[in-house]
Each structure stands twice: as structure tokens, then as C-alpha cells.
Structure 1
Amino acid sequence: MAIETSSASHSIPAVFDAQTERPRPKDVGILAMDMYFPKRCISEEDLEVYDGVSKGKYTIGLGQSYMAFADDREDINSIALSVVSGLLKRYNIDPKSIGRLEIGTETIIDKSKSVKTVLMDLFASSGNHDIEGLDSKNACYGSTAALFNAVNWIESRSW
């Protein structure tokens, strides 16, 4: 389908041709990923005793020796801001080059405001106010879903 206009004196070429394959950008992909673990942790063995569960429920059943947790000085937003600002600096990434920001989590603080919305503050000074993405909130699968969504977006014609 093409959109064209014509008049008796001249013809204007097609503005949009859905049949024409648009050139795909090259060297596009996930530039960097990072993980963050809260500074506080507890022995899973001690937690088994405290919770009154059978020995090995966490250490053998979950295969964990320690479990990290956020204290009152950290939350999902501060952790995400630290990670994203660190990635931008460490890899010298131009904030204007970011087209999608996908957050994988099982934690939210403000049920009316996404973590991505908070992270957009990092891109405001560069003038990049139009970044696609969302929060994938889903227990253990949230981060995996975010990664799959990012890969699908890269492979798509959406951008």
C-alpha cells in the first residue's frame, strides 16, 4: 500500500510504501547488563533455625548458603538507579542512544509508578524522553521475561 497524491500539473512520490523493506540498523543489541546484590545478607542455615523449618530446607532445597536483602537504606528504585547510572558511565553509553529500557523485578514500592519511570530521570538531561519499555514484575521470572522482551524487541521491526 502506498500513499500518493497527484494533480494535473505534477505527481508527488509515495510518502509511505508498506511493501518496501526498510534498511535495518547494524550492530544493534544489548550493550551491557549488570546485576546488583544488596549489601546485607543472612546465613540461610541461621534462617532455617529462626524460621523453625527442617535443616536443609533453604541450604539444600534452595541451594543457598546466604540470602541478600535490602535494608532501610536501599529499595528497588535506588538499586536500579545505581545499576543503570553505573552502566552508562562504565561503558561510556550515550543516553540518547538508548531506545528501550526493560526492568525485571519482583518488587515494587509505589504501585502507581513503575521503576522505569524513576529511571527516566537519568535520561532527561540528555533530552532522551522517548524510551520504550516497561517493568516485568513476576517473581523469579521477572528478569528472564525482561531479557526475552528486550531480545524480541531487537529482532522486531518495532523500532
Structure 2
Amino acid sequence: MASRPQNIGIKAIEVYFPSQYVEQSELEKHDGASTGKYTIGLGQTKMAFCDDREDIYSFALTVVSNLLKKYEIDTNSIGRLEVGTETILDKSKSVKTVLMQLFGDNTSIEGVDTLNACYGGTNALFNTLNWIESSAWDGRDAIVVAGDIALYAKGNARPTGGAGAVALLVGPKAPIVAEPGLRGTYMQHAYDFYKPDLTSEYPYVDGHFSNKCYTKALDAAYRDYNKREAKVANGHSNGDAAKLSLD
């Protein structure tokens, strides 16, 4: 039996942002907001946006193509491709299937989209790590893509928008290692941020409630992480505890 892969994590990273952007200082003036509300209060200097020649498909195609070229990745060396996004152009066809154009005759690639708000990319990464740690892993690397085009209606939430994508090469012997068994999870039903109107790109946002949900989730996820950390330290995690490290 092949030995369990070691040091699974991120082996390479590529990012893409559209070239168009709005200066947040100019948006402050346009909105009649106080100077520094967006640039200091939100810590934002520029807000990227895309024109009618770009969409989530082109974002993903560009960032994955750049990753493959920059790191000279053999497309046959990829066995899983996961996408995390909340930006959709089709209610059935996944962004992952569009990306398959980049992999030539290599049709043996697992994975699909995770459609969710901010957690979608994280879940896509977790799915990929789980695959490499599982009996289904065939020895190949994986690629995880996270991308979105965040648009808001006129109002307080608009300066928090933006657009971009990131592609991660994931596999064993990585310089950025994800410790096995160490993650904290918190999930709850809430209507703080949602997009029920399929004819509109704008979300419904309750900012104050969303902040409460975020801090509550962060606190609970950290407590869950601490519990799992204690189990790993005591040798109660799945797999060979002797191979786990908290260093």
C-alpha cells in the first residue's frame, strides 16, 4: 500500500484582477461620504470592476491558464479541479466544466463547483485536501479556483464590492502545509446576506446583523478548532497520530 502523502497544502498561487477600478476616494466624493470613510474606515483604496468583455468564466480561464503557464504544469498531472464562487452565469453548467477546455485530452479530472457566499472557496479547498488524503487519490495534484464579481446596489454596501480570482495548485510536499485534522467549523441558517432574486446580481444585505453573524461564527469556529487541536495532541484524530504535528 502506498504511504500516506505528506505535507499536503498549497504548492503555487496565481491571482487575477481586472485592470479597471474605481478610486475609493473618488467614490467617497460621489457618494457624499466623509473623507476616509472608505479608504480608512474600510481600508480600501481601489475597487475593481469588469466591463462587458469579462465575466466569471473569463476570470477563471485567465487565472488557471496563467497558473499552468507560469509554473509549467503538465495538464495530465491534475486529477481534481474545484471552483468556489457565488457568481453564476448558468443554473446548471458549472464553471469547472468551462475550465476543462484548458486540459486537452485529460478528461479524468474530478471536482465541481461549490456555490456559496464567501465560504465557497474555503469549502472547495477542503474538498480538495480531503481528496488527496483519501483512498480516491491517484497521486496527481489538484487545482482550486476561487473567484467572484461582487456588485452592490447604490448604498452603504457598494464600496465593499470588487472582482477577482485566485488559483491554487494543491498537493503533497507543499511549502504551505494544511495540518491534517486541524480545522474549525461553524454553520448556521441566517438571512444576513443572500441573493433570492435570480434576475438581479445585487444581494440583500443586513450589515449590522451580518457583522454579528461573522463574529459569532469566528468565535465558535475557533472554539471548535481548539477542541480538534486537543484531540490531535492526544492522538484521537483520524489517521496515524504519530505523523501529525502542531509545531
> TM bucket by the smaller chain?
0.7 to 0.9
RMSD across aligned C-alpha pairs, in angstroms? 2.3
Identify the structure with the greater strand proportion: 2
Aligned to 2:46: 66
Aligned to 1:157: 135
Q: Deviations over 1:90-132 (max 9, x none)?
A: 2111111111111122312222211101001111x2x211211
Q: CA deviation at 1:52?
A: 4.6
Query: Using the alignment, how far apart are the partners of 1:56 and 1:138 within structure 2?
Result: 31
Q: CA deviation at 1:30?
A: 4.0
Identity %, equivalent residues: 63
Aligned to 1:143: 121
* TM-score of the pair, normalised by structure 2: 0.49
For the pair shown, which has the larger CA radius of gyration, 1 or 2? Answer: 1
Quickly say closer, same or farther: Cα 1:44–1:138, change in 2 above 3 A.
farther
Q: CA deviation at 1:49?
A: 3.4
> Which protein, 1 or 2, shows the higher relative CO under an 8 Å CA cutoff with sep ≥ 6?
2
Q: Give the 5 Å matches for 1:24-103.
A: 24=3, 26=5, 30-53=10-33, 55-103=35-83
Q: Deviations over 1:23-76 (max 9, x none)?
A: 147576544221111111101222233345555443334321111111112111
Equivalent residues of 1:42, 1:66 under 8 A apart: yes
Are residue 116 (structure 1) and residue 96 (structure 2) matched? yes
Query: Using the alignment, how far apart are the partners of 2:98 and 2:48 within structure 1?
Result: 23
Query: Using the alignment, how far apart are the partners of 1:53 and 1:102 within structure 2?
Result: 40
Question: What is the one-letter code of the residue matched to 1:47?
Answer: L
Query: Using the alignment, how far apart are the partners of 2:134 and 2:31 within structure 1?
Result: 47
Give 3-state SS (helix, strand or coil) of 1:64's partner.
coil
* TM-score of the pair, normalised by structure 1: 0.72
Query: Using the alignment, how far apart are the partners of 1:54 and 1:110 within structure 2?
Result: 39
Question: What is the one-letter code of the residue matched to 2:117?
Answer: A
Question: What is the one-letter code of the residue matched to 2:122?
Answer: T
Aligned to 1:9: none
Unpaired segments of 5 or more residues in structure 1? 1-21
Give 3-state SS (helix, strand or coil) of 1:139's partner.
coil
Query: Using the alignment, how far apart are the partners of 2:119 and 2:101 within structure 1?
Result: 26
